[in-house]
Structure 1
Amino acid sequence: LGDNFNLLSPQQQDLVKTLLDNGQSHLFNNWPAPGVDDAEKKAFFDQLVLLDSSYPGGLVAYIKNAKRLLADSKAGTNPFDGFTPSVPTGETLAFGDENFIKFEEAGVREAKRAAFVLVAGGLGERLGYNGIKVALPAETTTGTCFLQHYIESILALQEASSEGESKAQIPFVIMTSDDTHGRTLELLESNSYFGMKPTQVTLLKQEKVACLDDNDARLALDPKNRYRIQTKPHGHGDVHSLLHSSGILKVWHDAGLKWVLFFQDTNGLLFKAIPSALGVSSTKQYQVNSLAVPRKAKEAIGGITRLTHSDAHAYHSKF
């Protein structure tokens, strides 16, 4: 790095020192002296600061977590050692029966205290479609796209939940990515948000994380640009840290909201079950509730299990 170090802001200098202390000296090998490629160097440090700010605990935490996971993988460590699986407790509902309707009515009443979060960072490439998945038709009769279907379903819940009262607006958050953010916003704006007020809708863009070059968790440089770190999407779990870091959760809490419903981008039947699932959560005072369909033996779908650790802690996990 040499004299280039003196070109950095105090924040960037601290970050560089931390990276050097964590095995990332290769990022700065054979850099030319100040005055050469200065604009590219500045862009590189701007990217480092962005990557550092978009991961809980920063790049150091990301590198340390990666080293631990890579070491465990190399050693063949089973992350489920000490856990005993079991069938989780819950409520089995048959669509339209008396029990279903009871919970559905409770869920509709509770919807005015809920917010909805759509995880929509992916494209439809696996489906042979180059656009955003929420723009795909949810059904062929009218060609209504998934995003329109979701918004109209939320608005219907909003209407039913506020009967006889002043209408509460149900907040709707969409987690996007670099691939989907602009196109999602364009789809909303060109269709007047499908009837929802623009102030109800918040788009949170998921930032990418650094790629790793080897089992020592060295950050991977772009082979075509020495001043650029390769990045990749970080997965759906980012939605929780995004909601927290954006301050939205505090706004919802202060507004008296109680429930956050997470769902994914192409599940057209989902809203037929969401009111009853919310009703189960409300009636039984669940802190967390997952919605699933029964899985038959050898069926190629995921399932939810309860994992109880020898230290008595219990978790629900999807497989």
Structure 2
Amino acid sequence: MTQIKSTQDLLRDHNNFGMIDGQVVFLKQGKVACLDDNGARLAKDPHNSYRIQTKPHGHGDVHSLLKYSGLLDKWCNFGLKWVLLFQDSNGLLFKAIPASLGVSSEKQYDVNSLVVSCKAKEAIGEITKLTHTDGRTVQLDMPMEMLTVKQDYPKTLSLSARADFTVMDTWLAYAPVKNNPEDVAKVPKGYPYHSATSSKMTIYRANCKILREAGCKIADPVIEEFNGQEVEVWPRIVWEPKWALTFADVKEKVHGHCSISQRSTLVIKGHNVAIEDLTLDGALIISSAEGVEDAKVTTVRGKVQNKGFIKVDNGKTSEIVRIRGFRIKDIEKKEVIYSKPENFYFES
């Protein structure tokens, strides 16, 4: 990065978003001279003709910054084996990381790029697959308009290095926040919005699909409009990483015949929580008390029905809510906070 203080202030104001001191390291990126034309003439600063215009060198600098800062040596001494590099505001990525890391380990890759399919004109760096009329295929990496990109790193490795890519379904791995509500209006119909609104909804969708694969009956989404964007609204289901990092984790903690209605909200904050024969039509929040990480399982079962949470117009409120397009109002909920392993059975 080229600006540090504003990011430091953001992290401080939000208690590092759960990370402890020392987990966040800032490496400041330098700038390089700009070229003015195809003749590679140096560009002048538009405000001072005696200065050369400079700009950041691109995110390809991350490799040299890690090396020359000494951070890589520090990580090696800690026993770390893998490094994840990403630069998108893509919260859905963390659903796909465990699987891609597993592939990297199993295949013994030196470098593994995580990719998804995209549509033409979609603003995303591409590894394309072209097919000739006779069926032969050609693969190539499309260039990006940056001086350096981190994806170039495999080109510096020896021919014996194992570099490859892993393809994930888009619904599980890619939902960036790139466009504000005004820019979304320029997105062609049928193309992803890549907005705060659509990204929020795709996280709900991913969690619902994962629970469906685990055997839960999840209601189909409905189409609603926020900030001029028509999006699928699935049941609002979220869980913390300590509950489940992988699909296998989810399978271990979901049992019996569970069903969740479209208007429902399910939040799981506990560690060893199992849901079994649960019918939810409303809002249910399951949390563990501070410091509870018991190996024994807390089981939640039965029927929960209440007025739940509703979405209301964003009105005159903060920018965070404005770019999302709605806010949630708590009407009624069932909340479970456990301090020791136990069974909860609900009857509505």
TM range (shorter): 0.3 to 0.5
TM-score, structure 2 as length reference: 0.35
Relative to its length, the structure with more helix (as a share) is 1
